[in-house]
Structure formats: structure tokens, C-alpha cells
Chain A
Amino acid sequence: MVLRLDSVGKRYSEDVWGVEDIDLELEAGIHGLLGPNGAGKSTLMRILTTVSKPTTGTVYWNGTDITESPTVVRNVLGYLPQDFGVYPDLTAREFLEYIAALRGLNRETATARIDELLALTDLQHVQDRALRTFSGGMRQRVGIAQALVNDPELLVVDEPTVGLDPETRVRVRNLLSSVAKDRVVLLSTHIVPDIEATSNNVALLADGELLTHTDPESLVEATAGNVYEYLAQREHLDEIRRQYQVSSTVQQANGVRVRVVATERPAPDAESVTPTLEDAYLDHIGHRGFE
């Protein structure tokens, strides 16, 4: 199975593009979609899920144009939008039954899947409670369950771990990894460690353009030699932030230990360190996220 994007673009007004000229090929596995706010991630996901039509280009699912034949992908799609709603008067189980019906599952299969997903997302004990009484984290878990209810071949999840506690976040990551073996999973998130922990490939998006689509190791390798750590004076921190991409800071008794992405050694005592995916992300995105 393969999802291929050929010069896909979405224009919102005369000179405002959500995404522009995206070429991408996604095969089985988890593909992380990273980018700053407004990069076009959600726009791209809406196109891939047929919620929105591209202004230019074509999206193919196993060779079929999904704009012309959306049913081809809708049959096998699981989708968790970033900002999704639920029917507040339905219970968790009833809501999943509703989505299962929309996704074309027969009653027996739906019942079995829903039982399992309620267990997987730890919602069994609240399955008969109206969704209006759910906390944000519980609601998010319902969202994850509904995305998996039809055992999708193409799973598109937008910020799936938002609102989850750290333990549940890890478990959701594991869940996504376990279901991704023989299907295409597109995972959009701002949480780089989630991508680091799960994704076989990473697509970097900024200002509606695809910067790169590669495996995390290659991305990190490209940043090798550009990441430094050193101890700086607190009063110099603002200046350092202006000059470099600061990946992290750790307060110490004698100053601040800063980790920066820089093309040249930022200070005489700065030592080169092994980059992480977060460093690589900052290196590629640069200051785009703040423009």
C-alpha cells in the first residue's frame, strides 16, 4: 500500500497557500509530520482524508486518484482530526458504534473492535457514561479509539497525544507503533519525542512547503557537528537566543548550560555533542517558526 502526493497544493485566497507543490510518497510505516504552527500540516491531512480537495495536484492511494474516487481511501481510512468533536449525549461505546457504522463495519465486527479498543484506551469503566462528562484526556482517548475502529490501512492522526498525561502518551505511542506494521500511518505532532519514538520517516513542513522527507537517522546525521553545549552567563542568554537556535537550557549554580544549533562553534569552550531529532528539526526549520 502506498499513498502518493503529486504536486499537491491548497490555495485559500489569491496569494495565501495552505500547502504548495507537495510531492511525497508514503509506504507502510509511521511517517511523522513535523512543522511549526501554520506550516500546513492540518491542511495536508484534510486533503489526504478527503475532507478538503486540493487546489492543484493529485493524491493517489494505491494508484487511484482519491479526489476522483474518494471512496477508495474512505473505505480504509482512520482519521483523528486535531480539533474534533463528539456527540455529548452519547456514551463512549455509542459514539464508537456510530463511527463504526459510518466506516461500514457490520455489527459483530464493530462490537468486537469496540470492546478491544475500549480496553486498549482504558475506557472500559466509563464506556456507558455520556461523553459530556469526559475530561479532555478521556475525550482524546475516545478520538484515538474511533480512528482505529475500522482497522484502517491508512491512519491519519493529528496531534493524538495532546492532553494526555506522560504515561498515557507513551502508551498511545506504543499503540500506534504496534498497529503500524502493515499500514500507512501519518502522525502530525509538535512533540518531537513522539516522532523520535515511533516514526520510520519524517516529513518536515514549513510555510506550506515540504522541506524534506527522510528517515530520522538521516535527518539527525545532517545536523551532526552543528550542535554544541556550553556554560553561559545568564545575562548573555538573550543575545545567544538572537544569534542561535537554542535547543535547551539548564539552570546551574554558576550560569546556564545551553544547547545550541550553530554552523560554527558559538564559544571557545563549547563542545560538539550528538544531535537529537529535536536539534535536527530546529536546524532545518531555522527561524521560520517565529516569522
Chain B
Amino acid sequence: MVRRGLSLAVHVASADFRQRVRSRRLLVVLAAVAYFGYQFNVGALELLYMETVNGETLNYRGEPTSAYVGLTTGVTGATILLFVGYYVLTGSLERDRSTGVDQLVASTPVENWSYLLGKWLSHLGIVSVILVTLGSGALIDHLVHGVGTTNPLWIFGAVFFVGFPLGCFVAGVTVLFQSIDRLAGTLGNVVYVFGAMTLLSVFLAIAHDRGAETTTLWIRLGDTVGLFAAGEMTFDALLAVAPEYSGPAVANYGTGADGAETVTYYWGGGVWPGWFYVNRLGLVLLGVGLVVVATVPYDRVSSGRNTTQTPVLGRFGRFLPSFFGGRTTVEPDSHVGQNTSLTPVTDRTSDGFGELFVQELRLLLRGHPWWWYVGGAAIAVVGLSGSASPRAVASIAAIWPLFLWSTMGYRATTHRITPFIVSSKQPYGQLLAEWAAGVLVTTIFFGVALWPTVAETGFNGFLVLAGGVLFVPAFAQLSGLVSRTRRLFELGYLVVWYVGPLNGVAVLDFAGATGETAGTVTPLLFGTVGVVALLGAVAYRSLQV
């Protein structure tokens, strides 16, 4: 039975993998990965040991031997998979739901574990394609710029040894989240990006505090992207050229400080630490374990999209009239096409923007879980009362509507409404109405957070508000339109939000959370990006019509 289940899983994986590799979207992902790898290989972005001596920053990087290129590309691949892998892999179960394939599968003898295992294996196929792309780029780079003999075994070996196990883990998380209705959408994307960022941040902080060689085995076992292993393997080579080195014993990503001296050290390869084998095996097993766990919440019969559960506002709306003895629903005796004449329409010339705006606003606000509305109301109350830190309110107000924004642009595609829109008299009107609805929602959320800034700084504060309001909905709409998924926007937005409003990097603070952007060029830049994105969305619509 297990053997048959495994065989079925391979069939599921094979079909899923073939479907995905024939998608042009994967080409875009691979192009982005290759570009990132190229930037890394040409030194625009590097793994650097850094120290400060007498106020001067010193950077240390390895000479581009096969081993060094393989090791650093492996760490890069793992980092890419940690942050982007979930978003690349996650569409598989969703696609089966939207195409109805899940219903076909549900009627077959395929067990849930076979189906989910198949999806996981398909994910690993995509992970392999990504790593092969990255490894191939590194191989070519070494042939062109490298030092010593080009050793494909070291390059591809390191890329896969570091990257693939993490891919197994991320694939497992993906399967698990997609199996839980609540986590299959935006909430899961938010949870994942928070988890990934927190995980990496914590380990980097530990590494910088203690150094790779002094960290405990347990902490090293949690080294997801291989930074500790890379540190442990190359640190002696670093000390050979810099015996007095006093910086962290783990290299970190960087572009090198401006004007800093860069010293190279030679590392021609070495033995992987024993604990790293356990670490990588653990990630693979964790991935399998997550698939097993996913079989518990996974519901093959009734996916989240087809649920008949009514949103809370709808239930409330129906509760009121019934409570007060209002409208009752009576089974009518009318039949299709009988005894009803149709009012002739003589005027089809209504510009209808106002009506369209109302409709789009309804679509934007409808269908979210009850706690989202409660949270939105709480943000409004707290923000307007001025009782909480403006920074905290602005940060939260800039993330809460993510559930709304992420449906923009992509909603019509996913619900197959596009033919109605492009064959209507208002294909551009619909686009602008959707954007305007997004602007209104953004203005409300950012407004309740930024009103103290506007009150305090006047026009400059208004520009901060306007920059955010112009930026977010247009960015969301263009991302949704072009990618036909909400994940591109969610990933991009979450990263900018995490770095800017949440962590206080003012140059990326589009929401004015830091209180440092009023009077600076930052709001103008984000506003400009928003206008360009809106024009991009209009241009994209012109291709559709």
C-alpha cells in the first residue's frame, strides 16, 4: 500500500512539475534568480567578514576559487529559498483548487498523504531547477573570473548541499500552509515572511555576538542558510591573512562599506563540519514531517474557496432583519423566462465612474474574516484618539490593509471576470475605480495614523500621507495585474514594510512611521513610484483591450 502510495505521489509530482515548468512565470523567477546570482558573482553583493580597526572599516572576502564560489553561491541559494521560496512554490495547491483538479483528485483513490507528498516532491523539482540555474551561473562565472581549476563538483555540490535541504523545509512549510484554509492566503504569506526574517535575524545577531566557533551546537543546528558552516570552514583561511582579525566569525551579506579596504584570503575548500550534516538532514526530515502534519488539516473534499461559510458582515446583515421581524424569504413560484417583460434600455451612456467606484469599493471590503474588520476598527479608534505611539500605529496601519490591497489587480483574473471587463465600455474606468477604492482605504488607514504628523508639520506631513496613498494601491494593482497573483505584491510590500516602517529605515518608510520623512524627498519618491505604477497598470490594461 505504501509502495502504491509512493508511486501515486510520483505521478502527482510529475504532472505538477510539468505544469509548472511550462509556465512563463517560472522563467521570470529563474531570470530573477540568475540576475541575483550574477550580482553576487561579480561582487556587487558579497559575503564579507568585516571589522573596524582604528575607525577604518576592513572587508575580507575569499578569492573566487571553485570551492569559495560554490560555498557562497550555496549560501546565497539557501537565502533566496528562505525568503522567496515560499512565494515561488506556494501556488500549487491553489491552482488545483482554482482549476477544479482537486475535485478530480478527491474522487480518486489517491490518499491525502500521497497527494501532498507529490506536491512536496514537485516543489523539490522546482527547488532543483532554481539551484541548477544558480549553480550554472556560478560555474560560468568561475570559468570567466575564477581562480584555479573550475571544479563543477565543488560548485554544484556546495550549492545543493547547502540549498536543497532548506528547499525541502520550505517546501514542507508551503504544503502545510496551503493545507490550512486560514494560512493559504495573505495571512500565511505574512506569517511566513515574518518567520523567515525573524529566524535569520536572530541567528545573525547570535553570530555577531558570539562568533561561529563559540556558539553552542544547538544554535548551529538551527543554521538554516549555512552562514555558520561557511564561517567555520573559511575562518582559518581568513586568519591566515589577518591574524589580528577581531570582527564576527561569520561573514554577512554586504556591498562593502564605501571607501573600505578589501582584503582577499585564499580558501580552496575543506571538510564540511560534522554538525552541518546533521543540520541538513534535519531540515530534510522536517520537510517530510511537515507534509505528514499537513495531512491532518488538509481537506480534499471541501477547499476553502468553496466553503459556504458566510462572512460575518453578511451574517450580521441577515441577522438584523430576522431579529426585528423584517424581510422573510419565501420560495417563489416564478420560472425562467415566464411572464416577465424586460424594460428596454435606451441609455447606456452613463459614465458610471461613481457607480463603478462603489462596486469596486464593495469588492475590496467584502469577504474578509471578522477579525480583520475588528482590527481595522481598533486601529481607527487608537489612531484617532492619539493614545498610542504614532510609530506603532503607523506601522500597524500600513500592514493591516494588506489583505485588501493584495486582491487589487489580481482579483478579476483569479475570478475569471476579465472578459467581462475588457468587453465592457469601461475597461479603463474599472481600473481607475479599483485604484480609487484602494486610495480611499489607504487614505483612511494612513490618515488615522498620520494625522498628528500632518497637524504638526502641515504641508510636509500632507506630502508624507499623499506619498503613501499614491504608492501602495498603485503598486498593489500593477503587481496583481502583471503577475496575476497576489504573492508578488505581498512579498515586495512586506519586505519594504519590514525594513522601512517597522525597523525604522527612513529611506524606505513610505508610511511615515519613523516621523523622519516629513520634509525629505522620500514621500515624493514613493509618490512618484505610485504614479508610475498607475501609468503602468493603464498601459497593461491597454494591452488587454
**Is A77 a contact partner of B415 (Cβ separation < 8 A)?**
no
Distance of A94 Cα from B317 Cα, bound (Å): 14
**Is B307 on the interface with A (CB-CB < 8 A)?**
yes
Within 8 A of A (CB), among B280-336: 305-308, 310-311, 314, 318, 329-332, 334-336
Within 8 A of B (CB), among A83-126: 83-90, 94, 97-107, 109-110, 112-113, 116-117, 119-122, 124-125
Distance of A103 Cα from B359 Cα, bound (Å): 13
**Is B349 on the interface with A (CB-CB < 8 A)?**
yes
Contacts A97-B359, A102-B424 hold; do A89 and B367 have CB atoms under 8 A apart? yes
Interface string of A146-184 (1 = CB under 8 A from B): 101011000000000000000110011011001100000
**Is B425 a contact partner of A75 (Cβ separation < 8 A)?**
yes
Contact of B336 among A50, A83, A171, A179 (CB under 8 A): A171
Distance of A77 Cα from B329 Cα, bound (Å): 33
Contact of A88 among B362, B415, B423, B545 (CB under 8 A): B415
Distance of A66 Cα from B332 Cα, bound (Å): 42
Distance of A263 Cα from B415 Cα, bound (Å): 49
**Is B342 a contact partner of A148 (Cβ separation < 8 A)?**
yes
Chain A residue nearest in CB terms to B426 = A102
**Is B342 a contact partner of A179 (Cβ separation < 8 A)?**
yes
Contact of A174 among B337, B362, B421 (CB under 8 A): B337
**Is B336 a contact partner of A77 (Cβ separation < 8 A)?**
no
Distance of A151 Cα from B341 Cα, bound (Å): 12
Contact of B337 among A51, A100, A103, A175 (CB under 8 A): A175
Contact of A132 among B306, B336, B545 (CB under 8 A): B306
Which residues on the A side are within 8 Å of B417 (C-beta)? Answer: 84-87
Minimum C-beta distance from A244 to chain B (A) = 35
**Is A70 on the interface with B (CB-CB < 8 A)?**
yes
**Is B340 a contact partner of A84 (Cβ separation < 8 A)?**
no
Distance of A128 Cα from B417 Cα, bound (Å): 20
Distance of A100 Cα from B425 Cα, bound (Å): 10
Which residues on the B side are within 8 Å of A112 (C-beta)? Answer: 343
Which residues on the A side are within 8 Å of B335 (C-beta)? Answer: 122, 167, 171
Give the bracket for the number of chain A residues in contact with chain B. Answer: 35 or more
**Is B338 on the interface with A (CB-CB < 8 A)?**
yes
Within 8 A of A (CB), among B336-386: 336-338, 340-345, 347-352, 355-356, 358-359, 362-363, 366-367
**Is B416 on the interface with A (CB-CB < 8 A)?**
yes
Chain B residue nearest in CB terms to A106 = B350
**Is B415 a contact partner of A105 (Cβ separation < 8 A)?**
no
Chain A residue nearest in CB terms to B357 = A101
Which residues on the A side are within 8 Å of B347 (C-beta)? Answer: 105-106, 109
Contact of A109 among B306, B310, B345, B366 (CB under 8 A): B345
**Is B344 a contact partner of A103 (Cβ separation < 8 A)?**
no
Which of B310, B337, B344, B411 is packed against the most chain A CB atoms within 10 Å? B337
**Is B359 a contact partner of A98 (Cβ separation < 8 A)?**
yes
Minimum C-beta distance from A167 to chain B (A) = 8
Contact of A175 among B336, B343, B358 (CB under 8 A): B336
**Is B337 a contact partner of A120 (Cβ separation < 8 A)?**
yes
**Is B419 on the interface with A (CB-CB < 8 A)?**
yes
**Is B342 a contact partner of A116 (Cβ separation < 8 A)?**
yes
Which residues on the A side are within 8 Å of B218 (C-beta)? Answer: none
Which residues on the A side are within 8 Å of B348 (C-beta)? Answer: 75-76, 103-105, 150-151
Distance of A175 Cα from B342 Cα, bound (Å): 11
Q: Number of B residues whose C-beta is below 8 Å from A?
A: 52
**Is B425 a contact partner of A102 (Cβ separation < 8 A)?**
yes
Contact of B311 among A89, A107, A110 (CB under 8 A): A89
**Is A84 a contact partner of B342 (Cβ separation < 8 A)?**
no
**Is A84 a contact partner of B420 (Cβ separation < 8 A)?**
yes
Distance of A86 Cα from B305 Cα, bound (Å): 13
Contacts A116-B342, A168-B336 hold; do A103 and B363 have CB atoms under 8 A apart? no
**Is A120 a contact partner of B306 (Cβ separation < 8 A)?**
no
**Is A49 on the interface with B (CB-CB < 8 A)?**
yes
A-B contacts counted at CB < 8 A amount to 158
Which residues on the B side are within 8 Å of A46 (C-beta)? Answer: 419
**Is A190 on the interface with B (CB-CB < 8 A)?**
no
Which residues on the B side are within 8 Å of A74 (C-beta)? Answer: 423-425
Which residues on the B side are within 8 Å of A98 (C-beta)? Answer: 359, 363
**Is A284 on the interface with B (CB-CB < 8 A)?**
no
**Is A132 a contact partner of B307 (Cβ separation < 8 A)?**
yes
Interface string of A262-277 (1 = CB under 8 A from B): 0000000000000000
Distance of A120 Cα from B341 Cα, bound (Å): 8
**Is A130 on the interface with B (CB-CB < 8 A)?**
yes
Which residues on the A side are within 8 Å of B350 (C-beta)? Answer: 104-106
Distance of A71 Cα from B430 Cα, bound (Å): 14
Minimum C-beta distance from A120 to chain B (A) = 5
Distance of A130 Cα from B305 Cα, bound (Å): 12
Distance of A141 Cα from B334 Cα, bound (Å): 14
**Is B422 on the interface with A (CB-CB < 8 A)?**
yes
**Is A87 a contact partner of B415 (Cβ separation < 8 A)?**
yes
Contacts A171-B338, A175-B336 hold; do A105 and B352 have CB atoms under 8 A apart? yes
**Is B332 a contact partner of A125 (Cβ separation < 8 A)?**
yes
Distance of A74 Cα from B422 Cα, bound (Å): 9
Which residues on the A side are within 8 Å of B314 (C-beta)? Answer: 130
Chain B residue nearest in CB terms to A156 = B423
Distance of A119 Cα from B430 Cα, bound (Å): 28
Which residues on the B side are within 8 Å of A81 (C-beta)? Answer: 419-420
**Is A79 on the interface with B (CB-CB < 8 A)?**
yes
Which residues on the B side are within 8 Å of A212 (C-beta)? Answer: none
Minimum C-beta distance from B222 to chain A (A) = 41
Chain B residue nearest in CB terms to A97 = B359
Contacts A125-B330, A150-B348, A172-B336 hold; do A102 and B342 have CB atoms under 8 A apart? no
**Is A133 on the interface with B (CB-CB < 8 A)?**
yes
Which residues on the A side are within 8 Å of B341 (C-beta)? Answer: 116
**Is B419 a contact partner of A121 (Cβ separation < 8 A)?**
no
Which of A46, A51, A87 is packed against the most chain B CB atoms within 10 Å? A87
Interface string of B474-498 (1 = CB under 8 A from A): 0000000000000000000000000
Which of A46, A49, A70, A119 is packed against the most chain B CB atoms within 10 Å? A119
**Is B336 a contact partner of A130 (Cβ separation < 8 A)?**
no
Distance of A117 Cα from B340 Cα, bound (Å): 8
Distance of A179 Cα from B343 Cα, bound (Å): 11
Distance of A151 Cα from B411 Cα, bound (Å): 27
**Knowing that A51-B422, A101-B356, A122-B332 are A-B contacts, what are 18 other residue pairs whose CB atoms are under 8 Å apart, sorted by A's residue number?**
A74-B425, A77-B423, A79-B420, A79-B423, A83-B416, A86-B417, A97-B355, A99-B424, A102-B420, A104-B349, A106-B350, A109-B347, A113-B345, A120-B342, A122-B336, A124-B332, A151-B345, A172-B336
Q: Provide 26 A-B residue pairs closer than 8 Å at the C-beta atoms, listed in order of the A residue.
A: A49-B419, A51-B422, A71-B425, A77-B423, A77-B424, A83-B416, A84-B416, A85-B415, A88-B367, A89-B367, A90-B366, A94-B359, A97-B359, A101-B352, A102-B429, A104-B352, A104-B426, A116-B343, A119-B334, A122-B336, A124-B332, A128-B318, A130-B311, A132-B306, A132-B308, A178-B337
* Nearest 10 A/B pairs, CB to CB: A85-B416, A89-B367, A151-B345, A102-B424, A171-B337, A171-B336, A175-B337, A101-B355, A106-B350, A85-B415
B residues contacting A by CB (< 8 A) are 305-308, 310-311, 314, 318, 329-332, 334-338, 340-345, 347-352, 355-356, 358-359, 362-363, 366-367, 411, 415-417, 419-426, 429-430, 545
